[in-house]
A = this chain, B = another copy of it.
Amino acid sequence: MLNQTAALDLMFQALADPSRRSMVERLSRGPASVSELAKPLTMSLPAVVQHLQVLENSGLIRTEKIGRVRTCHIDWVAMKTAEQWMDERRKSWELRLDRLGDFLASEDNH
């Protein structure tokens, strides 16, 4: 298993490409095959497969091959990890704002 930092590297990196995000958007509406994911994109099939490998390697999606078709779906537990990182930053910020608010309120009492 990778540590948290390396996992976040791979996830944010995976989400940093518009083609990969469009695949994730499609998959957030339910599972799809490789060629289904490739259809709206203007690149070659190997390119699509390479993008899928990046997504799968990041843990954001999982795939399963049955017969000759590979079905892809999002791993929501992994997706949550990325969301959580941003959540934590925001909490830290909100805490800071609260403390600033308290400070200003106490200043009013002088």
Contacts and interface: CB of A to CB of B under 8 A. Distances in A.
Contacts of A87: 83
SS class, residues of chain A in contact with chain B: helix
Interface string A1-24: 000011011001101111001001
Interface residues of A, number: 29
Contacts of A18: 5-6, 8-9
Contacts of A86: 79, 82-83, 86
B96 A30 contact: yes
Interface in A65-82: 74, 76, 79, 82
A6 to B, nearest CB: 8
